[in-house]
């Protein structure tokens, strides 16, 4: 526990020092990055210790806040979430030392390093808090810190807009959490989490309400469709290392919140699992479909976060359904897949956002159709982005496949076992997961293909440069972890065991037939991944042999005899995705503006297309417009006179006093 406090202390102090460094951007960078590194390494130690099997830590101390207690604990579930919190954030911090340098010439870097370290500390506090008040405080600090990070480039209109959307969304979500914890606190008679878990029985209506509150409150942070609307706004607006941490780590804390709440609510009824399956299917499929229609690299990645949260929700649904139907192996596979995907997604999504950041750093644009051919100027960034793309598509031999495999196999277990409607749900879930896999591969073929392959679509004034070592080394570490989990999944799963059993306090015995075959399956996945790499290597040798002493020549790409091919004639990202976008037109509602060529000697033609978020455009904007119209009747309250506001405060106090004294 001391190491954990050390981590929190170092992060907060170094954050403060970075702010104090002010306009001296080198000093601020120094404080911020070294503090983040030391803090994160210190924080990782207890997490790894707990996952290795040592007893959990806890710490309690009185706190003056009403109902609050300074109560922290690290159990395996917390420890599992601490891995991405500290691991990915440390790498992002190293990356930022170089990424932010150009900004340092224009503005002070103190605040961004300060808020970044505060964000890490608050995320760690969120997963370690065992008191609802403390949890909410940490949650709020996390939301505010990330808000200030998102609005770093606040001189740009769209960044302010995105920050505003994020601030509203996150607070609406938090409002649900207040209700959730208040209701739980009333039942338990205390705001401590251990008292919540000890609630002996609750009316089933109340559990249902609590479940739904948690679903909306934490789901807003996690980004379940249609609560995801802030994600595609905030992630592109934030600096790339912040997007990496927000998308890779912070939204996972929504999943953590849901898991933690599940431990309070007792045995789950079957409809919870079905609800999660439904959420998973909609978020997964719609997330990737919207990603396909995007032209902005970081916005595309943000929609993929929605998709991956959907995959995690599918895993949770399978786990819950398995638990409620008395299928321990299925439950284990579902929860295991979800938890492993939490870690995996934090690795490859951070990798992809950092890669996108390097592209932005070098070219100054996120617009897919203005890029191209970057593989030749930025070979290492391209390589790391390719690994991230394959991992996120769930392709072996990388880590994404392992977690998706666990979820598939869990789904199939239940599918073969159940004869009721639940089995049908699982069948749908499996089909949806297959569709998601296919579409994700299409989308990343588009993203990687347009940005890195072919030739540059625009000529640039300055020659492009590869990212420097401070940016590349964190990305290479992430590549290494993606490959390591893909090649040694059984090790990682053993590490994860205590975290999975932390959810419902049950571990299926390793001797059960299903468990044994699942673990053996993981070994085989690992063996196959290694074999696949070996066969590829063998083919490399074979080709080298067959090409030795043979002529190898270079020429142009086959152009059907056309004499003046140009880089702008390459297939664009928009054209690449067009057939799929068209198929899903009924949900996407892509708007295109066309100026067709006219006359015998057409001079100009234009085609632009734009896909607004369907939930924003057709659900939230009309809803908020209605609310606003409804509230216009209260305008007279706002007169802008200070005396009047003082009067309001006075009246409120009197009313509260009267109520409290019961006159």
Partner 1 sequence: MSVIPLLLSLGLALVCPPLLLGVIHKTKAILTGRVGAPVLQPYYDLWKLLQKGAVYSRTTSWVFRAGPLVSPAAFLTAALFVPLTTPSALLSFWGDVVLWAYLIGVARFITVLAALDTGSSFEGMGASREVTFASLAEPALFVALAVIAKVTGSVQLSEMFGPVLGQAWRTAGPALALAAASFFLVLLAENARMPVDDPTTHLELTMIHEVMVLDHSGPDFAFILYGSALKLFLFSVLLVRLLVPVHIGVVWLDLVIVVAGLLGLAVLIGIVESSMARLRLIRVPQLLVTSGVLAAVGLLLVWR
Find the binding residues for partner 1 in span 574-633 (CB under 8 A): 575-580, 583
- CB closer to partner 1 out of 386 and 483: 386
Span of 130-138, 184-192, 246-254, 398-406 interacting with partner 1 by CB under 8 A: 398-406
Rg (CA), the chain: 26
Site for partner 1 in 161-220 (CB under 8 A): none
SS (H, E, C) 1-48: CHHHHHHHHHHHHHHHHHHHHCCCHHHHHHHHHHHHHHHHHHHHHHHH
- CB closer to partner 1 out of 61 and 557: 557
Tell me the two tokens of residue 320.
């819950």
User: Regarding beta strands 57-62 and 69-74, do their DSSP bridges make them parallel or antiparallel, or are they unpaired?
Assistant: antiparallel
Helix (H, G, I), strand (E, B) or coil at 60: strand
Euclidean distance between CA atoms 503 and 332, whole angstroms: 10
Residue 521 as a binder of partner 1 (CB under 8 A): the answer is yes
Total interface residues for partner 1 by CB under 8 A: 83
- CB closer to partner 1 out of 309 and 577: 577
Tell me the two tokens of residue 655.
């009313």
Minimum distance of partner 1 from residue 580's CB (angstroms): 5
Minimum distance of partner 1 from residue 584's CB (angstroms): 11
- CB closer to partner 1 out of 414 and 502: 414
Euclidean distance between CA atoms 501 and 332, whole angstroms: 8
- CB closer to partner 1 out of 51 and 340: 340
Q: What is the DSSP letter of 55?
A: P
Euclidean distance between CA atoms 50 and 38, whole angstroms: 20
Helix 489-504 and helix 76-99: axis angle, to 10°? 120
Q: Which residues of 590-613 are buried (b: 16+ CB within 10 A; e: fewer)?
A: beeeeeeeeeeeeeeeeeeeebbb
- CB closer to partner 1 out of 173 and 373: 373
- Name residues whose C-beta falls within 8 Å of residue 422's C-beta, 6 or more positions apart in sequence: 270, 273, 274, 321, 325, 414
Single out the residue of 417, 395, 439, 486 nearest to residue 583, CA to CA: 439
Site for partner 1 in 414-473 (CB under 8 A): 415-416, 419, 423-424, 427, 430-435, 437-439, 441-442, 444-446, 448-450, 452-455
Span of 9-17, 45-53, 130-138, 400-408 interacting with partner 1 by CB under 8 A: 400-408
278, 643, 649, 652, 661 from 656: Cα distances, Å? 44, 20, 11, 6, 8
The residue from 567, 598, 647, 654 that contacts partner 1 (CB under 8 A) is 567
Minimum distance of partner 1 from residue 569's CB (angstroms): 6
Minimum distance of partner 1 from residue 136's CB (angstroms): 41
The residue from 186, 201, 203, 550 that contacts partner 1 (CB under 8 A) is 550
- CB closer to partner 1 out of 20 and 583: 583
- CB closer to partner 1 out of 251 and 409: 409
The residue from 520, 598, 607, 656 that contacts partner 1 (CB under 8 A) is 520
Site for partner 1 in 307-346 (CB under 8 A): none
Beta partners for residue 57, in sequence order: 74
- CB closer to partner 1 out of 211 and 405: 405
Minimum distance of partner 1 from residue 231's CB (angstroms): 23
Minimum distance of partner 1 from residue 436's CB (angstroms): 9
Site for partner 1 in 70-89 (CB under 8 A): none
Tell me the two tokens of residue 511.
């001797």
Minimum distance of partner 1 from residue 538's CB (angstroms): 8
Minimum distance of partner 1 from residue 534's CB (angstroms): 9
The residue from 305, 570, 611, 616 that contacts partner 1 (CB under 8 A) is 570
Euclidean distance between CA atoms 215 and 592, whole angstroms: 35
Longest alpha-carbon distance in the chain:
102
- CB closer to partner 1 out of 273 and 400: 400
Span of 19-27, 350-358, 540-548, 604-612 interacting with partner 1 by CB under 8 A: 540-548
Residue 531 as a binder of partner 1 (CB under 8 A): the answer is yes
Residue 376 as a binder of partner 1 (CB under 8 A): the answer is yes
C-beta separation of 247 from 207 below 8 A: no
Span of 65-73, 355-363, 531-539, 632-640 interacting with partner 1 by CB under 8 A: 531-539
Euclidean distance between CA atoms 66 and 609, whole angstroms: 54
Span of 48-56, 249-257, 273-281, 393-401 interacting with partner 1 by CB under 8 A: 393-401
C-beta separation of 330 from 410 below 8 A: yes
Span of 99-107, 161-169, 544-552, 619-627 interacting with partner 1 by CB under 8 A: 544-552
Span of 48-56, 163-171, 404-412, 628-636 interacting with partner 1 by CB under 8 A: 404-412
Euclidean distance between CA atoms 283 and 304, whole angstroms: 10
The single residue listed with the structure tokens 């395996």 is 76
Residue 556 as a binder of partner 1 (CB under 8 A): the answer is yes
- CB closer to partner 1 out of 226 and 454: 454
Euclidean distance between CA atoms 93 and 11, whole angstroms: 12
Surface-to-core class of residue 589, CB atoms within 10 Å of its CB (0-12 exposed, 13-18 middle, 19+ buried): middle
Residue 547 as a binder of partner 1 (CB under 8 A): the answer is yes
- CB closer to partner 1 out of 173 and 489: 489
29, 37, 103, 114 from 108: Cα distances, Å? 10, 21, 8, 11
The residue from 110, 273, 310, 396 that contacts partner 1 (CB under 8 A) is 396
The residue from 5, 103, 164, 412 that contacts partner 1 (CB under 8 A) is 412
- CB closer to partner 1 out of 256 and 444: 444
Tell me the two tokens of residue 638.
């706002």
Minimum distance of partner 1 from residue 58's CB (angstroms): 38
Q: What is the DSSP letter of 569?
A: G
Tell me the two tokens of residue 208.
């249902």
Q: What is the DSSP letter of 159?
A: H
The residue from 569, 653, 654, 657 that contacts partner 1 (CB under 8 A) is 569
Write the DSSP string, 579-637: HHHHHTHHHH--EEEEE---SSS----EEEEE---HHIIIIIHHHHHHHHHHHGGGGGG
Span of 60-68, 187-195, 237-245, 409-417 interacting with partner 1 by CB under 8 A: 409-417
- CB closer to partner 1 out of 507 and 517: 517
Q: Which residue intervals of 52-109 are DSSP H helices?
A: 76-99, 101-104
The residue from 558, 600, 601, 636 that contacts partner 1 (CB under 8 A) is 558
Please report which helix (H) or strand (E) contains residue 387, including its range.
Answer: helix 379-392
Helix 421-452 and helix 297-324: axis angle, to 10°? 160
Span of 315-323, 343-351, 355-363, 527-535 interacting with partner 1 by CB under 8 A: 527-535
Minimum distance of partner 1 from residue 225's CB (angstroms): 19
Residue 555 as a binder of partner 1 (CB under 8 A): the answer is yes
């Amino acid at each position: 526990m001391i190491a954990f406090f050390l981590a929190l202390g170092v992060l907060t102090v170094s954050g403060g020092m970075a702010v104090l460094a002010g306009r001296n951007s080198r000093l601020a960078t120094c404080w911020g990055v070294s503090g983040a590194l030391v803090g994160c390494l210190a924080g990782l130690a207890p997490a790894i210790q707990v996952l290795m099997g040592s007893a959990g830590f806890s710490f309690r101390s009185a706190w003056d806040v009403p109902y609050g207690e300074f109560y922290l604990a690290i159990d395996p579930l917390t420890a599992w979430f601490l891995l991405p919190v500290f691991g990915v954030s440390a790498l992002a911090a190293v990356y930022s030392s170089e990424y932010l340098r150009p900004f340092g010439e224009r503005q002070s870097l103190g605040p961004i390093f300060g808020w970044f370290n505060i964000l890490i500390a608050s995320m760690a506090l969120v997963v370690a808090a065992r008191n609802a008040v403390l949890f909410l405080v940490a949650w709020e600090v996390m939301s505010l810190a990330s808000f200030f990070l998102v609005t770093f480039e606040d001189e740009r209109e769209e960044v302010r807009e995105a920050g505003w959307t994020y601030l509203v969304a996150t607070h609406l979500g938090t409002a649900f959490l207040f209700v959730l914890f208040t209701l739980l606190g009333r039942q338990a008679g205390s705001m401590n989490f251990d008292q919540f878990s000890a609630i002996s029985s609750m009316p089933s209506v109340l559990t249902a309400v609590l479940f739904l509150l948690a679903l909306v409150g934490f789901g807003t942070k996690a980004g379940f469709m249609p609560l995801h609307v802030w994600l595609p706004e905030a992630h592109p607006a934030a600096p790339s290392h912040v997007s990496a941490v927000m998308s890779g780590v912070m939204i996972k804390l929504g999943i953590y919140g849901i898991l933690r709440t599940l431990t309070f609510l007792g045995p789950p009824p079957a409809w919870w699992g079905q609800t999660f399956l439904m959420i998973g299917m909609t978020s997964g499929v719609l997330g990737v479909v919207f990603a396909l229609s995007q032209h902005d690299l970081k916005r595309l990645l943000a929609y993929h976060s929605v998709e991956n949260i959907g995959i995690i929700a599918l895993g949770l649904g399978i786990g819950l359904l398995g638990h409620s139907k008395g299928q321990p192996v299925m439950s284990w596979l579902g929860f295991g897949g979800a938890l492993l995907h939490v870690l995996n997604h934090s690795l490859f999504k951070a990798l992809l956002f950092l890669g996108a950041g390097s592209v932005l750093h070098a070219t100054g644009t996120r617009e897919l159709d203005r890029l191209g051919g970057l593989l030749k100027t930025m070979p290492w960034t391209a390589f790391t982005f390719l690994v991230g793309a394959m991992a996120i598509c769930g392709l072996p031999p990388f880590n994404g496949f392992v977690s998706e495999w666990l979820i598939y196999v869990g789904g199939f277990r239940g599918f073969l076992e159940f004869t009721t409607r639940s089995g049908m749900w699982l069948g749908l879930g499996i089909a949806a997961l297959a569709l998601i896999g296919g579409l994700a591969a299409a989308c990343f073929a588009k993203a990687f293909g347009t940005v890195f392959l072919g030739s540059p679509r625009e000529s640039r004034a300055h020659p492009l440069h590869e990212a420097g070592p401070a940016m590349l080394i964190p990305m290479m570490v992430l590549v290494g972890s993606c490959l390591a989990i893909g090649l040694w999944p059984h090790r990682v799963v053993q590490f994860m065991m205590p975290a999975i059993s932390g959810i419902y306090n049950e571990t299926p015995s390793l001797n059960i037939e299903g468990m044994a075959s699942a673990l053996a399956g993981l070994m085989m996945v690992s063996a196959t991944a290694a074999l696949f790499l070996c066969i590829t290597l063998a083919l490399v040798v074979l080709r080298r042999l067959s090409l030795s002493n043979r002529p190898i020549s270079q020429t142009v790409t086959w152009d059907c005899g056309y004499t003046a091919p140009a880089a702008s004639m390459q297939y664009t990202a928009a054209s690449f995705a067009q057939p799929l976008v068209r198929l899903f037109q009924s949900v996407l509602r892509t708007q295109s503006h066309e100026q067709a060529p006219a006359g015998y000697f057409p001079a100009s033609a234009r085609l632009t297309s734009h896909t607004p978020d369907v939930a924003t455009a057709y659900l939230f904007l009309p809803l908020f417009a209605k609310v606003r119209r409804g509230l216009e009747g209260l305008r007279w309250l706002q007169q802008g006179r200070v005396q009047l506001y003082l009067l309001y405060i006075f009246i409120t106090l009197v009313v509260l006093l009267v109520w409290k004294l019961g006159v």
